[in-house]
Structure 1
Amino acid sequence: MPDTEFAAGPLDRSARVYVAGHGGLVGSAVWRKLESEGFTDLVGRRSSELDLKNRDAVFAFFAEQKPRYVVLAAAKVGGIMANNTYPQDFLSENLQIQVNVMDAAVEQGVERLMFLGSSCIYPKFAEQPIHEDALLTGYLEPTNDAYAIAKIAGIMQVQAVRRQFGLPWISAMPTNLYGPGDNFSPTGSHVLPALIRRYDEAARSGADRVENWGTGTPRREFLHVDDMAAAVLHLMEHYDGPAQVNVGTGTDVTIKEIADTIAGIVGFDGETVWDTSKPDGTPQKLLDVSKLGDAGWNAQIGLEDGLRSTIDWYHQHVDEIRG
């Protein structure tokens, strides 16, 4: 099958699109974006309806639904604590999900597939900002290396499909994402939703101090999930290449700065204490987004505006989140 049989270009709005992980943070944002852009045949299944680790079930689903396009946003995800505590789960489950979905998609000749990974695929001490070429040039951050290896394997599978079958599948590696629908669990969440919950609960209870992990000095880049969803659609229509594409804002802040901003928004005026016995993770993780810019897309949602809208969503759903 020649590489030019299918090429980047406008997606058929009437074609069936399977969004794997449509109930999660990224998948639900992609679903909203596709709906707003006029896609009329979206397909999604909750994990209770379709276990993507079950290979036979995944193949049967693809044979029945025959999607033309696929966005692979399903993954087992978590913050430093979860990744560090359950590395085997993060490696095994993500490999199973990715291999099953992509193998089934190959069997059905899925025209275009977007695989979503994470910026943790890059070496811990990669030169900043991190260019796509930094992949596999150094040691990974130990606290999430298992998850990173799974995502690197996903990139390699996309590239292998391109070489062997000529399908224009692509990969995108987002920076730290946040927004409506995030995981606000005290033990399983990423840094930003964890901080939102921690400071909001402190403000509500009248606590005079909040304790955070690490030193607060690591720098992180944050992208609103609605921006991520817009980038997914843009890349599927405008990018066709084997290399993964970084998706971010191109700017970063320290964890302390983001904590102070959240504290101000939720109205916490007490003391923040940093537990320096806990790990910081990667010292800096800023993506080079020049490839994304060359493809014609840039982030639109500013960090403070995005934080305010996310905190508003959290307040609207706080009872069910805590339940």
Structure 2
Amino acid sequence: MLSKKRVFVAGHKGMVGSAIVRKFRESGREDIVTRSRDELDLSDQAAVRRFFATESIDIVYLAAAKVGGIYANNQYPAEFIYQNLAIECNVIHEAHRSGVQQLLFLGSSCIYPRLAQQPIVEASLLQGYLEPTNEPYAIAKIAGIKLCESYSRQYGRDYRSVMPTNLYGPNDNFHPENSHVVPALIRRFHEAKACGASEVDVWGSGRPMREFLHVDDMADACIHVAGLARSIYESETQPLMSHINVGSGVDCTIRELAESIARVVGFTGRLVFDDSKPDGTPRKLLDVSLLRRLGWESQISLEDGLQSTYEWFVENIYLQEVASI
């Protein structure tokens, strides 16, 4: 059924969107609809309305979002809540207005309470206080879940949501300040190795525990969830929740992650943990038993994923930066 449908991947130049497009094309599909930000500003309701009115879309993968690490979330809370709310409201509402029956919304595990019981089950949503460092972003993502739930309930749409754990991989943001922990550490360790530095600073105490998922696994999970029969999806996600966790089911400390990245990069100096910087949530591990019951689990190990991501960074980011100097 999916092979006969016209698919719009919103956010196709981002890490997750590009992985979804790549996964589709690996399977032989070439008719995926994409638009760059210059071609379609998803925060512009009129532009989004015109797009859906003319493109005859059957299913939407809503991977477009403003994302960033602890620093970016702390510095730009207004941008994080406004831009994500605008994108979600425009795409979901205009998809509905144009008759799009299927949509998959990509959220984030930060939707869950800061001190949720571990591993975190889907029913933990709205059961406690959010992590303050990314609360505006989390609230926007919760709104996206509820938009999908509401349009499905009121209008009979088949709008689903998946909540990924911490993602990494090709096309990640490797900005030295605004990136998430994996790309930030890959860049930091690589540059330290290149200049012969004896030590590298790592934000926080190193004690918090995090789960990581390679973006190619995430793309595969998205296509799997979107392809499930509606009766199967709804029988597993109703009535307690309307979303599905996506993760590896395995976590590690930030110290262990940093040591793994240092090993992959080949940095042999000292790691200095700066506990004056915020740690964020103490632990965040998703319960992925629901997704496993639905027939999917991750395939890419953290070590293998870090190795391939580092190689991608060197070839596509670092060497190009050096060449431009």
TM-score > 0.5, shorter chain as reference: yes
Structure 1 CA distance, aligned partners of 2:268 and 2:114?
34
Alignment match of 2:142 (pick from 138, 152, 157): 152
Structure 2 CA distance, aligned partners of 1:316 and 1:36?
21
| Equivalence map 1:201-240=2 (5 Å) | 201-238=191-228, 240=233
| Equivalence map 1:91-106=2 (5 Å) | 91-106=81-96
Aligned to 2:189: 199
Aligned to 1:89: 79
Tell me how many residue pairs correspond in the alignment: 313
How far off its partner does 1:321 sit? 5.5
Alignment match of 1:118 (pick from 108, 118, 121): 108
Structure 2 CA distance, aligned partners of 1:232 and 1:109?
21
Runs of at least 5 residues in structure 1 that lack an aligned partner in the other structure: 1-9
Aligned to 2:10: 20
CA contact under 8 A between 1:52 and 1:101: conserved in structure 2?
yes
Q: Secondary structure at the match of 1:152?
A: helix
Q: Secondary structure at the match of 1:115?
A: strand
Aligned to 2:291: 292
Q: Is 1:309 matched up with 2:308?
A: yes
Distance 1:94 1:303, change over 3 A: same
How far off its partner does 1:99 sit? 0.3
Aligned to 2:319: 319
Structure 1 CA distance, aligned partners of 2:153 and 2:295?
26
Aligned to 1:33: 23
Q: Secondary structure at the match of 2:233?
A: coil
How far off its partner does 1:38 sit? 3.0
Q: RMSD of the alignment, in Å?
A: 1.1
Q: Please report the TM-score for the alignment, with normalisation by the length of structure 1.
A: 0.95
AA partner of residue 227 (structure 1)? D
Deviations 1:162-215 (A, max 9, x none): 111111110000000000111000111000100000001101110001001110
Deviations 1:120-162 (A, max 9, x none): 0000000000000000000000000000000000000000011
CA contact under 8 A between 1:33 and 1:226: conserved in structure 2?
yes
Alignment match of 2:59 (pick from 64, 69, 90): 69
Deviations 1:50-107 (A, max 9, x none): 1101100000011111210100000000000000111111000100000000111001
Alignment match of 1:172 (pick from 159, 162, 169): 162
List structure 1 segments (4+ residues) > 6 angstroms apart after TM superposition: none
Aligned to 1:259: 258
Aligned to 1:5: none
Distance 1:15 1:40, change over 3 A: farther
AA partner of residue 237 (structure 1)? G
